[in-house]
Amino acid sequence: MARWGLVIDLDRCTACQACVVACKHENNVPFSTPETSARGRLMTWIQLVGVEMPGGTTAMMPMMCQQCDRPPCTDVCPTSATYLNPEGIVAQIYPRCIGCRYCTNACPYAVKLFNWTAPEWPESMAPMRNPDVSIRPMGVVEKCTFCHHRLQQAREEARAAGRALAAEDYVPACVQTCPSDAMVFGDLDDPHSQVAGLAASTRAFRWMEDLGTRPKVVYLREGE
């Protein structure tokens, strides 16, 4: 079984935020305004943040759920609404979430978002919502799923075509959109995959890896 992972090359990333927009559209992430953002209610599964690097420089990093292999958020969930699935994706079951926000507090990356109110879109945007992705109700937690619905779709298509799922069949919206090819997605357990090769590079680091969370989002340090 695949172990899905994402490599982001900070040398190639131009901080254009196309991934942020692609993600918002793909995953029906509700609309936020500057006012709601100021109150800590910005809804976005990817966000560019400045992270201090060794040496004192600040790198702009696209930050999303780090898809930890040892996620601090799943253990604390009282109803198993969030769990690590066999393919390494930290999943969310929206109808089971009771909205206690324990997982959001346990996550050191602060990438789990809570639906404080019912989701809203401007009238012109409402028809553009993705029919493949469920709209989350008020009061539940959501976050990046590595576009899990695309994996389900790819698997169905492969089955219909009578072949095995190939890693190339499945790519999240952010990776597909990235204009500078800074994002590479694939199976970390396949030693021949590009993603596994990059993850083993000397430039590779995992965010806050000293916490032992073992993220499957790998960043490549900017060249010296």
Partner 1 sequence: MAQPEIEPIISPILSVGPSFKRWAMALGAVVAWAAMVWVWQLYYGLGATNLGRPIYWGLYITNFVFFIGVSHAGTLISAILRIVHAEWRRPITRMAEVITVLVLFFGVGNVILDLGRPDRALSVILHPHFRSPLLWDICSISVYLVCSTIYLYLPLIPDIAVLRDRTSGWRHTFYHRLAIGWIGSPAQWHRLERAIGIMAIGVIPVAVSVHTVVSWVFAMTIQPMWHSSIFGPYFVVGAIFSGIAAIITAMVIVRKVYGLEAYLKPVHFNNLGILLLVMTCLWFYFTFAEHLTAWYAQEPRELSVFDAKLYGRFAPLFWTMIACCFVIPFTILANPRTRTITGTLVASIAINIGMWIERFTIVVPSLSNPRAPVHTFIYWPSWVEWSLMAGCFAAFTLLYMGFTKLFPIISIWELDEEPAAEAAPAARPAATLAEA
* 19 versus 113: smaller Cβ distance to partner 1: 113
Does 126 sit near partner 1 (CB under 8 A)?
A: no
Q: Using the 8-state DSSP alphabet, how is residue 161 labeled?
A: T
90 lines the binding site for partner 1 (CB under 8 A): no
- Distance in Å from the first CA to the final CA of the chain: 36
CB of 138 to partner 1, least distance (A): 4
* Number of other CB atoms surrounding residue 205 within 10 Å: 16
Give the C-alpha separation, 62 to 59, whole Å: 10
Applying CB under 8 A, among 2, 8, 20, 140 the residue interacting with partner 1 is 140
The yes or no reply on residue 171 touching partner 1 (CB under 8 A) is no
Quick check: 63 binds partner 1 (CB under 8 A)?
A: yes
d(CA 32, CA 45): 12
- Is residue 202 involved in binding partner 1 (CB under 8 A)? no
By beta-carbon proximity to partner 1, the closer residue of 107 and 220 is: 107
Q: Does 17 participate in binding partner 1 (rule CB under 8 A)?
A: no
Q: Which stretch binds partner 1 (CB under 8 A): 1-9, 18-26, 32-40, 180-188?
A: 32-40
Distances (CA, A) of 63 to 29, 178, 189: 16, 14, 23
Contact 92, 142 (CB under 8 A): yes
- Our finding on whether 208 is near partner 1 (CB under 8 A) is yes
Q: Distances from the Cα of 193 to the Cαs of 22, 179, 221, in angstroms?
A: 24, 21, 20
Residues that bind partner 1 (CB under 8 A): 37-42, 47, 49-52, 63, 72, 75-81, 96-102, 104-106, 108-111, 113-118, 138-141, 208, 211
